[in-house]
Amino acid sequence: MPERILIIDDDVDTLRLVGLLLQKQGYSISAATNGEQGLAKALTEKPDIILLDVMMPDMDGYEVARRLRKNPTTKSTPVLMFTAKGQLDDKVTGFEAGADDYLTKPTHPAELQAHIRALLTRVGARNVEEMETAQHEHHGRVIGVLSARGGLGVSTFASNLAGALFTRTQSDVILAELTPGQGTLGMDLGAPQQKGLNELLSGTPAEITREKVNSLLVPHNSGLKLLLASENPRDIQLSNQTSHYEILVARLATLARFIVLDLGSGLPPFVQKILPLCADRIIIVEGLPNTIAHTKMLMDEITNLGIDQLGISVILNNRIRSETQMPWTEVQKSLEHSITTTLTPAPEMFMAATRLHMPAIFSQPTNVTSQQILKIADQILEREKVK
């Protein structure tokens, strides 16, 4: 995705010339002809960098810069002041107002491009440094749950695994649903229409701070902490924010002992980035030939990411009682991978748990399926000890 540059300048000729120049360099350009319009676009479009003129009517560039720095959404956005005012005092005022760099008109296109590249590189390095800092602070075990296609019970399993880990340890456990536009856990757990994931993916990577992530976690009656995806299908476009996901997972890992990620189905780019960050990767499969074939392809692609298949656990989820489903021995043979656990069908238990807005592991802990999930949690705890 090309970097987005917002140009705020009341000179239409400057907007046109600079905009065309930067478009030819591969940048995505947006323009505003006054300060108010520029502030509005900065908040809604969240550009990667802002080129800001100083001499504008009604609101000059200094005031625009001050307001950008006061708003949490734009306080970290790089600002390059681009103006005819070249006196030292003017530059000092610009830097005091919040500018990151200062260029005097007229300037050579090569110089403008060099300053823009330098600013973008600086911001990119800062984001990487912040992510590395978060990873250095890491103390939580990240567990990713996914399947080859939808409808196999990934969300239900993820919520109950999170509940099982909490039951066994009474430690902080975060259940994070990372599939914008496809959220189901909010409705199932009695916390619908949550905007936490949307807000984190809609901002800039620099805005994904530990404090902000923590503030968007929803406490649940079970004791779990939830980061929930929206149910609105149009929000699925947010899943393209791959770099945001990497930083988000790094932040989550500093906030709890266990972080269970509902990664949904398939292998979109954000999941490809997240899986290497996980200590445990759990794939849900059912005993039907087509699903097994899709799952085998998914596992092969995960291997192509450089992830050892020994780091993958496969759970055979028999959601319904049916003789058409293959026994675990045949599933294991077809996948060429061991089955960690086979879950006994318990549709009535999960339906009752949904009515109570509670993971079934809490409402019916002695049920056979609940006990099977608790054993999976015990296996994760054993691996945690080894680490």
Residue 222: how many CB atoms within 10 A of its CB?
21
User: Pick from 241, 251, 249, 246: which is nearest to 273 by CA?
Assistant: 246
Q: How confident is the model at residue 130 (pLDDT cuts 50, 70, 90)?
A: low
Per-residue pLDDT, 85: 66
Amino acid at 114: A
- Whether 136 shows a pLDDT value over 70: the answer reads no
Per-residue pLDDT, 139: 79
Predicted TM-score (pTM) of the model is: 0.68
Q: How confident is the model at residue 13 (pLDDT cuts 50, 70, 90)?
A: confident
Q: How confident is the model at residue 71 (pLDDT cuts 50, 70, 90)?
A: confident
Report the distance separating Cα 144 and Cα 270, nearest Å: 12
Report the distance separating Cα 323 and Cα 225, nearest Å: 38
Cis peptide before 106 (omega within 30 of 0): yes
Complete domains list, the chain, with CATH? 4-133 (3.40.50.2300), 139-386 (3.40.50.300)
Per-residue pLDDT, 387: 61
User: Pick from 36, 141, 126: which is nearest to 76 by CA?
Assistant: 126
- Whether 309 shows a pLDDT value over 90: the answer reads no
Q: How confident is the model at residue 203 (pLDDT cuts 50, 70, 90)?
A: confident
Task: Give DSSP secondary structure letters for 16-56.
Answer: HHHHHHHHHTT-EEEEESSHHHHHHHHHHH--SEEEE-S--
Beta bridge partners of 4: 28
Q: How confident is the model at residue 138 (pLDDT cuts 50, 70, 90)?
A: low
Structure tokens at 38: 């520029």
Residue 30: how many CB atoms within 10 A of its CB?
17
Give the relative orientation of helices 109-136 and 12-24 as an angle to the nearest 10 degrees.
60
Report the distance separating Cα 354 and Cα 108, nearest Å: 64
What does pLDDT average to over the chain? 89
DSSP designation for 222: T
**Residue in this structure with the two tokens 């009517």, named with its chain if needed:** 57
User: Pick from 197, 210, 185, 275: which is nearest to 239 by CA?
Assistant: 197
Residues 6+ apart with CB under 8 A from 156: 188, 350, 360
Report the distance separating Cα 239 and Cα 385, nearest Å: 33
HSE (side-chain half, CA atoms, 13 Å) at 209: 7
Contact between 46 and 202 under an 8 Å Cβ cutoff? The reply is yes
**Residue in this structure with the two tokens 């456990």, named with its chain if needed:** 173
The pairing of strands 79-83 and 49-52 is: parallel
Lowest mean pLDDT among 90-94, 216-220, 301-305, 364-368: 90-94
Q: What is the mean pLDDT of residues 303-307?
A: 91
Report the distance separating Cα 189 and Cα 358, nearest Å: 6
* Radius of gyration for the alpha carbons in the chain, expressed in angstroms and rounded: 25
